[in-house]
Structures are given as structure tokens and as C-alpha cells.
Structure 1
């Protein structure tokens, strides 16, 4: 790109900068808005690496932990949740890979004691100066001095590591001069982001947002009083470049960052506020996201704003502190005075020995370089002595816990042996977390293999028609509901992703925007509209429906701006009611607001003529409204020909003046202005018509599509014969109050939405005679008296409600009460199982009615921080026939997906399960995993400190990075992990070679499996149901243990 300024940047140069930013941002996962909280793997952008390597890279990028503390793993071990045999095997593997064994040192005993007894986080922590000789001198009470040449060489290594040439310049200045540019930069950028990305929370709206983030910010920044008062020199900088790409390139050159380091430099800039960066990544790539369409922004804008602010703050620091102004100058400063640079680093990074802080600060303030040298050498000698004493103390304590000859072994080691010993321990501690994790996972793997049912080959197929069948989401909260439903009556249940294999974009009745109800990795093509049954239809049914939807859409857009005073009395009643008597209040509220009409879904694809007719009708209606508002002409004084003529003029198919304008003596100028308003405000214009025709083409499904989706889902779960009288499509949703994370409790397979629309769509499709006729041709014969019925499982109260009952055939009404009774009984049993884990008394386990009442109350209590555990404690995903797990209490910890490999000769159905539901499960599992192992960096900390940001996210306090993970209330209990962080253990019931082929056909899944992001068990029905576990890159036979087959899967740590 050379030295060209922005106005000379070629299109290729600009694309090069954009592509560099795109690649640099790939490690940052997208972050969806809170109202459709999408569980995601916080390290999604690193899934091309192995799990272990990704954690190491993420530590560099995000500064997050990848594993629990040693002491927490030790607690799990004492509770019997770690496989000791595996723990020992991994230790032996580590030792066998060492180049040599230290003579006279029981290395295995040292490491085993460190692993199982030592409470310290690190026995051999990172140091600047420590080596075997220094440690040897400390252990033997000798003086510790390092010769100056060795010290000088080591100082160069230290400075190269701590002042990296490709590190952000402002960060290096902060470390050397204590300027706090980074914190100030973050605060200014966050404030700018809050202003621009606000989605209706703030009363003040930033001007010019439709121009895009950088352009709008640039305009405001030049007149920003806060920036002016700080003395930030922004105007000249902003005038130097026009586009965000040019600004990024210009500042990188001014900072003298080598071009080969630009990508890494940009990554470090973006990961500083990776929550905001992740949200902007999502926003810029989301189709049909209203706020992004209205106010565009991408990471190039974000980076340009950040770099302008950073450059201005750096210039301010140069003026006040006489510090270097670019990367080259920083390196020159360090090389010119390495001793002074080291003292500055120690002081300003908080690493300095407390007794030396004042002396170092005083010498640096006087800026007398000869004093630097004398003080620095004395300080380095003391720091190295301190490091040696600390290390000796750690090792002596460990030796004391070991007993025996350990202390003698330590004292007998030579300096070279101590160097080798510390290196061995350091490497072991680096990989120790992964050892604990795999050993813990093996405990769970063996527990599952030992407990699943092994079908008897001689058992004949059951042809008895069950009273009812139910397809529930694979969500772990469906597991107890399925178990209890099967236990109380003649029910057969199936597990499937909660979108039921039908991805839709849904526009609900009275809603202003559509939502995607499918896994986040998919983009739905079909739009479903919800309309009231009883409509006063005008001209034709479809027009009436669309007109009604448009009316309510308008109302919903305006609703947030209704004056609070107008509803003050009702709001006060709600405030008191929610606090004093939540359940009674909500029962009253529901009765007062039970005005949502009975609705239907626009399910069938529109023909081109129908779409054109709808659009013409809507345009005519908009013209009538415009005439009333703009010219005050009532409808009864306008003919259809008048409306049609104005429409043709607005669409540029005819010329004015119109007959109406001539008749009412309206001037040509006024009519021209009116026509322009029709185009600009009422959207009656040619380009908009083309867009709307495309959108109308998205409504509904063709019959071919309906048959394809229904047949695939039925084959997917193995339900192709023996259909019962009722086939329930049970969606799920949660119900909480005052909870920004509410959508995290909804359906992950529906992109954090509620799955009821999908259930209604599926049932309506499956009940259509034409669809059933075509299914019969495919070999799926659904009896005439089988009725697919949508239902919704409230996971907070455990209640199951049947939907669209008014469509139920009369002959089924006789059995409806029995169905409801069975569902109610299963709901109460589920509540009795769940409530004791949520603070309810243990007796509730034996009192289903009382448990159900408590569940309902908690759902309506706005002070309740944990009305349900959600997906916490998930550990398994089981893909296979229900016979494998029927009757087993899996403690609401397993995703259960029905599958019969015998119906899938080519493996395509298995590929579908692996590439969609399994990936959703992996995201959910790793969201919980990382939110536990590092509640601050990957989790979102405590809800107590959260504030909603712009109606799309939460921050800690008034201003912070967006909190992207789960709160501590979701994953911890009494300060300890309630969710036990292990990777998802996926069990597939199918032949080994069959599964391997399916995995090999899917590039993404092959990477996930091969990189150990999930653990895999294959139970091979064609090999006597032997279990093969993928471990260390190979499938290994894992025998069942009869001794542990009756033990529960999990036990709480006392």
C-alpha cells in the first residue's frame, strides 16, 4: 500500500485492509443480542485448533483460564468423580516422554503428590531471574548473586517478552510510564458504542446513525465537549482520512507498526473489548436484523474509531510524559536504557517488591540515568533472591507433604538438576488442567457405558399402538419429562431438535420484527406469519391478513414511546403485585390481558399473482392513509381510480397531474411533493416494490417443501409406522421475571427463541391430507385418525399446555381429558424432582402438588435469581433408540436425540444430527464449561452488578465490555461449581465404521471430533453393543463394569 493517503487508496488497497481485519477478527466469537441469547463456544474462532491448543491461544488473546483450579479438581477426586487409573496413566505417559530421568529423584512421587495433595496454584511459578544455581544457593543458605553479563543477557530476554514489538503501542507506553491509556481508551470507546448501538433504551439518540458508525462518530467527535476538555487533538486526525479503511492504514503507518505485523496488531486491538467486537461481528453479518439495516456498522468502523481515540490519547501522553510516540521509538527507548525500562515495568505493572516501590518511583521521577544503573542492579539482585526464596518455600512444603526422603532428594540436587527438575514440574503444571479434565471425563464416560441398556437381540418389535406419542426437544430438561410420561402411562417419546427440523423466520401477531427459529448455524429461507382467525377481510383474504399484520406492526413499533404517565397506575399495581404476591398478581394480570385472539399461521407459499395482489392492496391502503394525513381528504371522497392513478404516478408508470389533484385544484408543486412523500415515507416506489415482492416470496412453504421437512424429521427420529391417535409436538419455553438472560433458558435449537411456532408449523403440515398422501408414496403411512398436535413445555414450571385444541377432530375429544391428566401428572413429578435442587425442602420430592406450586411461584417472582437451572450440568448427548436409555434416571443431564441407523443406509440422517443438533449441544456445553472455569473472562460475573446496555446486552456496572457468558447464579451454587465442567460426551448407537464415515464426510465435525472439542463413544449394535471410546486420537474398546451399573451418575460434593 506504500505511503498513499486515503484519497489515493485504490479499491484493492481498501479491500486488503478490510480482509485483513476480517481475518484478524476470526478468533472472536459472534455475540447475539440478549433477547435471543445464543449459547456459543467462547473459543469458536479457534476450533480449527485442538481443544488444548485453543485454550493456550485463548489465554494469550483473552487472558482467560481454561481449567479449574487444582484444589477444585482435588475435591472432585475425593468425591469419586475422577478416574484415578486414567490420572495415573497420563502421569506415566508424561514421564515416559521425558528425555531422561533425574537420578536419585522419585519424580513420579513428586508429581503425584503435587497433583493430589498440593493446594498451591503453581509450585513452579513464572519468574524473571530464577535458575538452578540461585535456587541451590537459597536452599543451602549461601549468598545469591548473578554475574553482570548473565544478568544483562537475561534482561534482554525479559524486555523482549514484556515489551513485544508487535504489541499495541499504547499498552507498551502504559507499562513503561503508568499512563493508563488503555483503560481510558476503553471507556471512551464504550461510551461511543453505547451512543451508536442503542436500540431504544436511551432517551437521546446519536445523530447521523444511518450514515454508519465511523461516519456518524466522526461527525459528532469533532464537536464533542468531553474530548475538547481532555485536550484530545481529534480534528486534524479526523481530517487526514475519509474512510475507516484509510484511517486504520494511516494510523498503523504513523505508529510505525511493520506491515507484516498488522494482522496480529489488529487482533490484539479487537480482543481488548471482545464482547463489543463479537456483537458487532454478529450485527454486521445478520440478515434481516432491523437495527443493523437502519444503522450499519462493522469491525472496520469499530477499529477505526478505536485507533483514532488511541492515537489522540497517545499524543496527549507524549505531550505530558515525553514518552515515545510509535513502535520504533518504544523499542529504541528500551534498547537505550534497558535498566531504566526494567524498573519502569516493575513499578507500573505492579510486579515490584513492596519495599522497593518508593525508592524506584523516586529515582525514576528524578530521571537521573546513573542512579538507574546502581538501583537497578541492586533491585535485580534482591528480586532474584526473593524468587529463589519463594521457590524454595514451595518445594519444601511439597516435600513435607510427601514425607520420606523427599527433603533429602531436594537438598541433594545439583544446580543443573534443579534446573531440569523445575523445567519438568513447570511443563507438568502447564498441561495439568488437561490431565484432570480427561480423567474426570473418563469417569463420566465409564458411568454412562455401564448404565445404558443393552437391547436383547431376541426381543420382538412391539407393534401395540401407544395411547400417545410425543416428540420433545433434545434439551436436557426434556429428559425427566419424557421419563415420567413413559412411567405413568402408555406413552412413547422421541427426542429431536426443538425446531423439529423446520427452520423458520417467524413474525408473531402484534410483533414488529421477525425472529429466526432454528439453530444459529442455519439461516431460514421461509417466513411464517401469525394472524388472527377472526379478521374483517377486505377485498380478499390474504390482503386482509397482511393489512392486519401491518397495522399491528405499526402499533408495536410505537408502543415503547407511549408516555409512562398514561399507564402509571397500572405500572404501580404491577410493581406492588410482583413484589408482594407474584403468583396471585400474575393470575389477575393474565385474566385482565387475555385478549390475544385465536391465531393461525400463514403456512402455504404464495403464488406470484397472490403476492402481487397483496402488495397492490397494501400500497393502495398506504395511499389512502397518506391522503388523509397529508391532504386531509377522507376515504369516502376518493375513488378507486384516484388511488390507482396516484399509485401509477408514484411507481413512475404514469405522469401527473392526477385527476384528483385537478378536481381539488391542487398545484403541480404540491402534488409533486405529495408523490415524493409517497415514495420516501409511505414506501410506494418501484425499488421498494421489488424488495417487497422478494419478501412476500419468502412467506410459507410449498407442498414439496412441507413433504420434505416432515418426512426427514420422522425418519430422523425413527417414527415411520405405528402412529398413535395423538402425536404431540412438544416445544419448550421458560418463564422468568426481571431476567435479561431469559432467552438463555429458551430453546437453543430455536436460536434462543421459543419453539411453539415450529411445533405449530410441523403439526399443521403433518395434518394436511395432501402432505400425507405424498408421505404415503414415500412409505410413511399415517393413519387417518392420527392427529399431530402442538404443545409447549414450560421448563420453569414444568407445566405442559396443549395448543390449537380448537382444530382437534371431534372424535378425539373423548380422549382429551386422559391426555391432559397424563401430562399434568408427569409435570408434577418433574417439579418434585427439580424443586429440591432450587432451594426447596427435601420433602418436596415426595409432594408433587406442593412442588408444582413452588415452581409456579418461582416463575412469577421477580426477585428470584434462579427460577430454574436451565441447561446447567449438561454432560451427555445420546443419539440412538429410546431403548438405550428407557427407564434410566439421567438426572436432567443428557441431550437425547432419537435415531435408528437401520433407516439411514447412506448415513445422511446421522450427518444431519452431527452437523446441527450436536453442534448446538457442543456450543451449549462449552458456554457452560468456560463460564465455570473463568467466571469473569468467559462468564459474565454476578447478576448483582449487571446493567442492561442498549436493550441488547449487559455490562458490569455503568460501563464495561459486554458480558458474553453465563452469570455465576447460573453455574455456581454457594460459591462452588454446580455445573461440572467437562466436554460434551456424545454417544452414538451405530456401527463403528458407519459413524466414522459420517464424521469423515463433514469437514467441520471432523475438526470438532479430531480436535477433541467433544468426547465420542460409539456403541456398535453389530458388534454386541461393545463401546468404543475416542481417546488420544484412536477408538479404543471400553468394557462394561458390572459393579458400577447400579450407581447414580452424579453425586453432589458435600
Structure 2
């Protein structure tokens, strides 16, 4: 065993290094958005998505057809494509390809028209069985068609019969074409169709000849014995079902009726114990008992099991890294979940012990060894002799691409035949350099450019309307509402400002600086409420107030009785007698389900009433250290820690020195039923949790006189008249709840009433704007009907689209609200409040803000991007077949790999594009922050995000391109103006352009000033 022992350390390193390629999605109950391709962030975006596409067999961009539809509806303009090609080609765009035109012209033609690129069989069928050689493409410009036809006919009549035939390489083909069309005597009488048929036949023959004689040589196929052949896939289909069931049992968080035996001994020993004396119907598992006996007898470690399996399968040391990576990615969803539960889920009820991923690989390779040894010789040979299928495509396929391009460009076969060998080589090289994936890349960049330029232009125009912002004097509003930066709050804030222009709204990462493990009343476990890149140090609990202690205990006992009864009923139904009773009483159980579908809003209200009967009553947060007598593990904050949080938050969002008498701190989350991905709609800044507890905790901290005194010592003054109120906005049903209102002093009662009335109207309007994206909602509904509609969606058991979530997110603004107030941004912008005037020279406030905002918003944006461009590979497909596994993830049906990413119903209306950050800070400040923060620098310089700067000194807007900030020149187009948001979006379901909302002015003719 010495040689094995010497290899084990290297094997562990290889496996744990390969783990960075696995999905980093943790438990679905705390869904945290992240960059799906986080493992490729050390590369540029373009290189990373292409490398991942090859590794995972996924798409890096949308299909060409979708981009072409965007062109058709002016979502991408010709100017956008022209700009992208100019940036891409620089001076080489003017290089001529013979007499056919410039490289820029060739690529624009390939972008302008759809090119079919099929297999050789498909191409030959099209040539032989369709009218491809008789009729030009229907989308070919008439001028191009006429030019090519006339050139071909003129050459035939004038040159071919006067000596050109003797040296024409297509003479025999031309003669055959002429004979098919009636012979030489009929040439002079050919009609337009016959001339066109001759032109196309000659063109095709020229393309095919050029492909055969001048195209680059095919790449040599390379033997790759570890590629995933048909035999490998067959073996995978044998071992994967066993591993899927076992992984689900090993990671189970309480869903299973029984606990997996010996789980505490680790993945390998639990597997060994389960299968030591088991009988297997599959003959390929007959030797499993012998392998288990060997593991027990020799006390083999997981690393030694892996080494022996690789040895017995004949995997050489040089091939082991690639082989292990392939096996690790074979069930990458389950493998990734095992790794997350091992390394990043210590707070869960049943985390995975250290070394679980290595032990998983030991079991996987043990099973693969057995399956391989029992496979037929022919199957093994097929696996070992698979060829790399990367050989160049057949000449007929390359010729067909050129044939299509020539038609739209007006090139005749004679034009192609006149090319020199060097010109042919240039033409084929350029065609090969611009395949579908490259065209999609350019399309996508133009797609992003189109939106980016309009977004920046809108900000410039909106800022210009208000003059030089740096000279604006602060005014004290009637009240202030601090929301999460979430893009769904953009419309909520906009409507609130329209309802009550004297209020001020601000945006801050929705954990409000309170990073904590939180356990609500009635909850069994703590969960983190903070960004995923932050590790909380404090445990906070919700407890009943003293007067409610006994009542709370009775409610807790009632909940326990109800829970045990439900659990007993579920398990009892699995017995023979229970099954009979379920058959008899089953119809009664369907009544609540039917009500949830037929009358979702009413049944939801009944359910809420029932929950209140066994609910919490009045509660408090034990946020101070030592404040909880019932939960001694809760280590709350000290007064100094609370003061540091409050001071930092007030500085971050620019409230220092300008607090109004009432400040509402509003967290957010989402509620829906029968939705495994419910946490994906919650607050990303709270790690997939709901931000209500954070808002409540911050308000209690800021209201504490001791904290205010300590905050003053830090240089931030909170007026004695200012009162903070915690609130929670449910973005699914648009309800707003308030915390601890009974503790508010009487002096702010009227302001609270005013704020609540305005918020009630704003949430109804917000529901109305949201409803325009739901096909089941009427476009003619009023705000009350729209609010009822979204309340029904949240309680509907059959609803797979409870809300659109972050779909359509595209921008993030970090700066003063003046830049975006009164600007309709279509719920597509994260809004982060920051006042450069209140920051210090080192810009520590901005650095702290961006340290949380950029990773969180980029993670949300990129997960939506990848789940949209390839919902099968990067997303998790449709919700309809999803089945919750181990209370940690979803599978398709009863057994599949864990589906990571977002379901189709969350991303179907999303426009996938990299997020644009617009930050109010000088470029040199942003460059310094990038230099000091590797994560931000990697995202920006790698082009995983886009970033622009608004210099607060002169309001100049600059865009980060080619490694530096360059001035952005707006197009001068004036923004449309509408009297209200409703007037702008009324009757529309699709994405809308930017518009200024000005109640004093009506919508102008044509929508423009």
C-alpha cells in the first residue's frame, strides 16, 4: 500500500481543486444568487463563457434567431452592430477580400442575414430536394439578386463562348446546366427564372470547388480515451441512480422518514454499511460485497479506495486530473451540493462532515470500476478508442455557408472563380473566424450597447433637467423611507414619490448593516441574514414580550401538537391501514387544495387567520448582548457595536446631518405557496432571507438613547425628534407590515399615519405596474383589482409565476437620488444611495458600499443571464416536473441530478445582459477602489460587469472601456415625458424605454419634447 499512500494527498488536492468548477449553490431554502461561472472569473467574460460552454456543453449567448428578432423590433440597430464591428476590427475592417468587398462588409452581411449551418446530410438534402438552386433566398436584396444574375448571364453570352470555356474549371458543369435549360440554342430566349437558375447552379459549383481546393486542411483527430463516449454514458446511467438516491439520503435535512444509518461516520462508511449485506438485482454489482470486504479488511481510506479504483481501471497518472474532473462533473449538481454542505453550511441542521466530496468520489469510482469490469469487451473498446469529433466540417458544409453569403452580397460564381489562391485563402479564413458563436458574441455586445447607451443618455438628460447637482441644497423631507437597493423596489419608490412628492426614498443593501444569524419565534434553527461573502458573528432571536410569555408557550405547544399530528398522518398514510384511511378520507383533504386554486386570495386570508391563532402575539428582538434569558446561545450586540452599525449606515446612504422626524427602514422578501424556489425571490443582500428582521433590528438600535450617544461620539448626530420605524415589504403580494409601532412616541403619530396612507397607495400602484407583465392580469384593471390579483397569485397553489423576481435587471446606480428621481426605469435598476459630499477624502464609505453592492448585484445579474441564455444547462428548466430532494434542492421527477440555477418561469421575460454600474465618483477614485479590492477589479477588468463614472465635480459621465474611463457622448435625443408612471406604461406588456415623469406636463406629441 506504500505506493497508494504516497498518492493519496495528490488525489485529494486534485479533487478539491476540481471542486471550484462545481456549482456553488447552497440549500435552496436560502437561495443565494451568484455568478454561475464563478470559477472562470480569472478570465475575461468572453473567454470565460466560451471555456465554460465547451466544458459544460452549454450556450454562452442567446441563439442567433433571438438576436435577429431583436434586430427586427429595433432592439438592436444597424448602428449598434456597426459600432461593435468598428471596435472589433479597427483598421483591419478596411482590408479588401479580392474584389468582393471589405472585411467589415463581409461580417456585416453575415450578421444581417441568417445562415444555415447544418450537417453534410442536411446540406445535400437541401441542394437535391428543394429549390435552393432555382430560387434566390427570399431575404436576398433585389439589387444583389439582379447584379449576380446579370453578371452570370453576361459572362455566359459574352465571355464563355468567346474563349473563356477553355480555361474555366466549371466548364463541364456549365455545359450540363445549359443542357438542362434547353441547350445552347435556347440561351438567348432564357426568361428571368432560367437565368436565375443558371446563376445559382454556377454559384454553387464555384463555392463547392473553392471549398474543395482552397479551404484549410482538416484538423487531425486526436485519440482521447477519457472523453465521454457512448459506453461511458451507459456506465453513468448505471451508477448515477444509485448515487442520486444515496446523496439525497445522506444530505437529508429532515424530509426522509428515517435517518441514514451510520451517517455520522461519513459518506463512504455509510455507503459501506448500507450495502455490506445487501442483495442487488443488477449483476454488475455482484462484486460489490467483495470490494466492501476489502475496504473493511484493509481499513482502506477514501483516498486509497480512489487510488486502487484508478489503478484497476488502468488510468495512468498523467490522465488522472482530467479523469477525476470528468467524474466530478458527471453529477455536478449533487457533487456541488455535497461540497457546499461540507464547506459553507455549518448553520444547517445536518451539515456534511469534512472530506465528504472525496468520499463521494471514492464511492463513485468504486461503482465505476465494477461497472467497467462487467461491461462487454466491445463496449470498453469503444470507450477507449473514441475519437475527438473536432475535425473540420466537410467541404460541402463550408461551401453552403459561402453560397448563402454570396446570394445576399450579390456575388456570382464568376466573381468567385476570378479570385486568386491568396484571396480564396483570405476568404475562407475570415469565414472560419466568424462562426455562429462569434456572430452571437457581436450580436450580444450590440444588444448590450443599445440598452447601455439609452440608459446613460437617460441619466444625462434627467440630470441636466435639474441643473448642476453638486450645487443642490439639501432639504428636509416630510419623512424618509430607506428600502433595499433591490430592482423591484425601483417602481415602489417611484410610485411613493409620485404619491407624496414631499417624501424622500433611499436605497441601501437590505441587511442594513446588521449581519446576523437569526431565529424567529417558532423557528427551530438559525439562518444567516447578510450577504453571502459575510460571516455573521452574532446570533439574534425573536422572543415574546414579557406579558405574552405564557400565551406564547401555549401557542408553541399548539404548533407542536399540530406539527406532530401532521407528521403522524403523513407517516401513517404509508402503512396498509393508513393507506386505506387515506383512500377513504382523501377527498376531504383535497378541499383546501381546491380552494387554494379556485379562490386563492380568500383561502390565503383564511390561512393567515389560522396562523394568527397559533401565531406569535407581540414579540421583541433580543438584539443586545445578554438580553435573552430563554436563548443563552444568542450573543447579541454591544452598545458600541450597534453604534458602529448605525453610524456606518447613516453615512453610507447620505443621511448624516439631514434626518427627518420619521425614518422608515423597509426590508423586503417574498411569500408564495408550492414554490421550492421561494427564497430566490427574497433579499439577495440577506443571503436569500427576508430583510424584515434586519430592518426591525436596525430601527431598535437607532432608537436606543445609549446607541445615539455612542453614535454622537463617532461624529454622527441623530436628532432627538427623529424616530425610526422598521417595516417589511412583501414583493409578491405588495403588502407592507410595520414593527413595534406601539413603541413610537405620540409626536410622530400623524407622520406615521401620513406615511402609511402614502405607502398604501404606492403599493397598490406598484401592484398595478407589476401586473402588466402577467398575461393572466387584465390591462384594463384598476389599482385595487391589480392589488387583489397579486394577492391571489401569492396564495395560489397552482401558480408557477408568483412574481417576476429580478427578471429584466440591467443597471445599478450608486449615487444621489437626484440623478434618477422622476425617471421611469421599468423596474430594471438597483438604486443605491450615496452622497459623495458626505464621504471623506479616502472614500471609505464608497469603498465599503461597493464591496457589498457590486458582488451582490453582479451575482444576481449573472445568474439571471446564464439561466436565461441556457436554461437547460445553467438553469433548472421548467418548474412543472420539479421534486424537492433532501430539503436542499430540486430534481426533475423522482431521480435526476440536482437542478441548479433558476427555473424558466423566473427568467422567460429577462433580457440577458451584463449589469451596468453607474457610480457617482471620480474615475481615479473608482480605479483606486478596484486596485484595493481584488473581487471588484476582477469583475470590472474582466468585463463581467460594465461600469460608468459620474464625476461629482463636473457631472461628466465616463464609461470604462479598454482598461480606462472614456467620456460618454450622449446622442442628444430628448426623453419622452409623461404625467405619471401609469400614463407611460398603460396598456403595455413588453419592456419600455426610459421616460421622465413630470406631473406638470402632459405626454408630448410622439412622446418626445
1:1052 paired residue number: 990
User: What do residues 244-292 of structure 1 show as CA deviations (whole Å, max 9, x unaligned)?
Assistant: 1122222223333333443332222212222112211211112433344
User: What do residues 970-999 of structure 1 show as CA deviations (whole Å, max 9, x unaligned)?
Assistant: 111xxxxx2111101000011111111111
Distance 1:260 1:173 in 2: 23
- Aligned 1:323-472 pairs, distance under 5 A: 323-324=380-381, 330=384, 334=385, 387-402=394-409, 404-405=410-411, 407-413=413-419, 417-429=423-435, 430-452=437-459, 453-454=462-463, 455-457=466-468, 461-472=472-483
Return closer, same or farther for 1:555/1:126 CA change in 2, 3 Å cut-off.
Answer: farther
Is the Cα–Cα contact under 8 Å of residues 941 and 967 in structure 1 kept in the other structure? yes
Distance 1:1029 1:904 in 2: 23
User: What do residues 455-481 of structure 1 show as CA deviations (whole Å, max 9, x unaligned)?
Assistant: 523886545432211110000110011
1:304 paired residue number: 362
Q: How far off is 1:516 after superposition?
A: 0.4
Distance 2:120 2:454 in 1: 35
Deviates more, 1:836-845 or 1:46-55: 836-845
Q: How far off is 1:193 after superposition?
A: 1.4
Return closer, same or farther for 1:527/1:408 CA change in 2, 3 Å cut-off.
Answer: farther
Is the Cα–Cα contact under 8 Å of residues 71 and 119 in structure 1 kept in the other structure? no
- Aligned 1:773-788 pairs, distance under 5 A: 773-788=709-724
Match status 1:213 vs 2:281: no
Is the Cα–Cα contact under 8 Å of residues 512 and 556 in structure 1 kept in the other structure? no
Match status 1:233 vs 2:302: no
1:966 aligns to what SS in structure 2?
A: coil
1:593 aligns to what SS in structure 2?
A: helix
1:601 to 617, 621, 628: 621
2:147 paired residue number: none
Match status 1:94 vs 2:89: yes
List gaps (5 residues or longer) in structure 1. 128-132, 335-340, 352-382, 539-543, 619-694, 973-977
Match status 1:802 vs 2:797: no
2:363 aligns to what SS in structure 1?
A: helix
Return closer, same or farther for 1:297/1:743 CA change in 2, 3 Å cut-off.
Answer: farther
1:187 paired residue number: 241
2:965 aligns to what SS in structure 1?
A: strand
- Aligned 1:971-990 pairs, distance under 5 A: 971-972=907-908, 978-990=909-921
- The alignment's TM-score, normalised by the length of structure 1, stands at 0.77
1:1021 paired residue number: 952
1:115 paired residue number: 111
Q: What's the C-alpha RMSD, in Å, of the aligned pairs?
A: 3.7
User: What do residues 319-368 of structure 1 show as CA deviations (whole Å, max 9, x unaligned)?
Assistant: x647359x9xx3xxx4xxxxxx66xx99xxxx9xxxxxxxxxxxxxxxxx
User: What do residues 562-621 of structure 1 show as CA deviations (whole Å, max 9, x unaligned)?
Assistant: 434799798544223212211112222222321322111111112xxx99xx6xxx8xxx
Return closer, same or farther for 1:1000/1:459 CA change in 2, 3 Å cut-off.
Answer: closer
1:651 paired residue number: none
1:1042 aligns to what SS in structure 2?
A: coil
- Aligned 1:358-757 pairs, distance under 5 A: 387-402=394-409, 404-405=410-411, 407-413=413-419, 417-429=423-435, 430-452=437-459, 453-454=462-463, 455-457=466-468, 461-489=472-500, 490-534=502-546, 561-564=567-570, 571-594=589-612, 595-606=615-626, 696=632, 699-757=635-693
Q: How far off is 1:222 after superposition?
A: 3.3
Q: How far off is 1:556 after superposition?
A: 10
Distance 2:355 2:661 in 1: 52
Q: How far off is 1:1044 after superposition?
A: 4.4
2:795 paired residue number: 860
- Aligned 1:143-292 pairs, distance under 5 A: 157-158=220-221, 160=222, 163-165=223-225, 167=226, 171-172=228-229, 174=231, 180-226=234-280, 229-241=283-295, 242-292=300-350
Is the Cα–Cα contact under 8 Å of residues 137 and 143 in structure 1 kept in the other structure? no
User: What do residues 604-652 of structure 1 show as CA deviations (whole Å, max 9, x unaligned)?
Assistant: 112xxx99xx6xxx8xxxxxxxxxxxxxxxxxxxxxxxxxxxxxxxxxx
Q: How far off is 1:770 after superposition?
A: 0.5
1:637 paired residue number: none
Q: How far off is 1:143 after superposition?
A: 9.5
2:132 paired residue number: none
Return closer, same or farther for 1:298/1:420 CA change in 2, 3 Å cut-off.
Answer: farther
User: What do residues 355-390 of structure 1 show as CA deviations (whole Å, max 9, x unaligned)?
Assistant: xxxxxxxxxxxxxxxxxxxxxxxxxxxx99x93333
1:1040 to 964, 967, 970: 970
1:811 aligns to what SS in structure 2?
A: helix
Distance 1:26 1:111 in 2: 37
User: What do residues 179-220 of structure 1 show as CA deviations (whole Å, max 9, x unaligned)?
Assistant: 711332323322221232223333354321121111111222
Distance 1:746 1:217 in 2: 36
Is the Cα–Cα contact under 8 Å of residues 138 and 144 in structure 1 kept in the other structure? no
2:818 to 852, 865, 883: 883
Q: How far off is 1:863 after superposition?
A: 1.4
Q: How far off is 1:104 after superposition?
A: 2.5
Is the Cα–Cα contact under 8 Å of residues 38 and 751 in structure 1 kept in the other structure? yes
Q: How far off is 1:69 after superposition?
A: 1.2
Is the Cα–Cα contact under 8 Å of residues 61 and 268 in structure 1 kept in the other structure? no
Is the Cα–Cα contact under 8 Å of residues 921 and 951 in structure 2 kept in the other structure? yes
Distance 1:571 1:804 in 2: 38
Is the Cα–Cα contact under 8 Å of residues 287 and 370 in structure 2 kept in the other structure? yes
Distance 2:634 2:52 in 1: 40
2:195 paired residue number: none
Is the Cα–Cα contact under 8 Å of residues 483 and 667 in structure 2 kept in the other structure? yes
Distance 1:472 1:487 in 2: 16
Return closer, same or farther for 1:185/1:720 CA change in 2, 3 Å cut-off.
Answer: same
1:225 aligns to what SS in structure 2?
A: coil
Q: How far off is 1:852 after superposition?
A: 1.1
Q: How far off is 1:78 after superposition?
A: 2.6
1:40 paired residue number: 34
Is the Cα–Cα contact under 8 Å of residues 510 and 549 in structure 1 kept in the other structure? no
2:173 paired residue number: none
Return closer, same or farther for 1:776/1:266 CA change in 2, 3 Å cut-off.
Answer: same
Deviates more, 1:391-400 or 1:849-858: 391-400
1:364 paired residue number: none
User: What do residues 118-156 of structure 1 show as CA deviations (whole Å, max 9, x unaligned)?
Assistant: 2536799999xxxxx999998359999999xx99x969x
Return closer, same or farther for 1:550/1:26 CA change in 2, 3 Å cut-off.
Answer: farther
Distance 2:798 2:771 in 1: 17
Return closer, same or farther for 1:556/1:604 CA change in 2, 3 Å cut-off.
Answer: farther
List gaps (5 residues or longer) in structure 2. 124-168, 171-200, 574-581, 978-983, 993-1009
Distance 2:117 2:716 in 1: 60
Distance 1:861 1:172 in 2: 45
Distance 1:228 1:265 in 2: 25
Match status 1:954 vs 2:890: yes
Q: How far off is 1:507 after superposition?
A: 1.0
1:1017 aligns to what SS in structure 2?
A: strand
Is the Cα–Cα contact under 8 Å of residues 1029 and 1038 in structure 1 kept in the other structure? yes
Is the Cα–Cα contact under 8 Å of residues 957 and 968 in structure 2 kept in the other structure? yes
Return closer, same or farther for 1:837/1:287 CA change in 2, 3 Å cut-off.
Answer: closer
Deviates more, 1:190-199 or 1:733-742: 190-199
Distance 2:346 2:558 in 1: 19
Return closer, same or farther for 1:303/1:409 CA change in 2, 3 Å cut-off.
Answer: farther
Distance 1:5 1:199 in 2: 39
Distance 2:289 2:419 in 1: 65
Distance 2:316 2:202 in 1: 43
2:280 aligns to what SS in structure 1?
A: helix
